[in-house]
Amino acid sequence: MPLRIKSPRLYSISLQQGANVSEVMMEIDGERRVRNLLWRRPLFQWEEERVFLLLALLQNVTLCDEMDEWSWSLNPEGSFSIWESPAPSKVIAFSWQLLYDRVPTKENLLLRGVIHHGGGEGNCVWCVDFRESSSHLFLRCKMALEVWYAIFKWLGVVIVMPPNLFHLFDCLSEAATNKKVRNGYRLVWHSVIWSIWKARNNRIFSNLVKETLEVVEDVKIIFRRLLFSSMGSVVCFWCFRLCRSTEPGSCSTSLCCASFAAVSWVWLACSRRL
């Protein structure tokens, strides 16, 4: 977390708001010390206590000559894996918001006072007796469960439904046999999440009711469109899973890809926009 956010009061009265940590630190006899902290005015006692806490925090900082960069501590490679996908940024951003429960579900709208309690306004559009939370809408709802299990069957994987969306994302990623398939599975994840959200919105705002199989087909259409846009060629997912080459159509199953392309072109041309 940036120091300006961790200590906003000290940052607001600092004369070195653009300085790096290395510019205000020095080592004397192997001991790291902070120097040259300049303030716009004398500090109050409680502000001096904040400075003491800040100095204690800086004692644990390791200085190096490399440029600063963001790192995700829960990933050995330091990257937040949900962003490692060829899906459009708006779809990835939505999935990221979902994992942190920041999408405008009815439960979140109730908490913000946008909609009111009573009359079932906060209930799921499919399970009318349950509150529409993120975990319910995308994981525990009967319709969502049927969509996920249909997609698992399509992928040829067996996954016991985990307790939350974070675990489901990890399970789907770990079910892949290599990095290429892992990226494909993440693309499927984004497609499922996006399709469920679209189906939910269509039912609320357009009174358009879709059956589970229709949502599953929407998932496959969106996945193929995203796969096409990322690879520059239409390739069936079966070949995508089998072939380890980075070039579409360069494996022994290219004939299957070619026959599949004729059908996929129709699907891609007729399917609606994201």
pLDDT of residue 91: 87
Hey, CA dihedral for 16, 13, 6, 44, is it positive or negative? positive
Return d(Cα 139, Cα 147) in angstroms, integer. Answer: 10
Return d(Cα 247, Cα 116) in angstroms, integer. Answer: 53
Query: H/E/C letters for each residue in 253-267?
Result: CHHHHHHHHHHHHHH
pLDDT of residue 251: 45
Q: Which residues pair with 31 in a beta bridge?
A: 28
Q: What angle do helix axes 212-231 and 179-205 make, rounded to 10 degrees?
A: 130
pLDDT band at 73 (very low <50, low <70, confident <90, very high): low
Return d(Cα 140, Cα 239) in angstroms, integer. Answer: 31
Return d(Cα 224, Cα 148) in angstroms, integer. Answer: 17
Contact 134, 101 (CB under 8 A): yes
Dump pLDDT digits (tens) for 108-162: 999 888 888 777 789 999 988 899 999 999 999 999 999 999 999 998 888 888 8
Contacts of 227 (CB under 8 A, 6+ apart): 86, 184, 187, 235, 237, 240
Return d(Cα 116, Cα 122) in angstroms, integer. Answer: 8
Q: Which residue type occupies 84?
A: E
Report which of residues 52 and 70 the model is more confident about.
Answer: 52
Report which of residues 262 and 166 the model is more confident about.
Answer: 166
Return d(Cα 3, Cα 58) in angstroms, integer. Answer: 10
Dump pLDDT digits (tens) for 54-68: 888 877 777 676 666
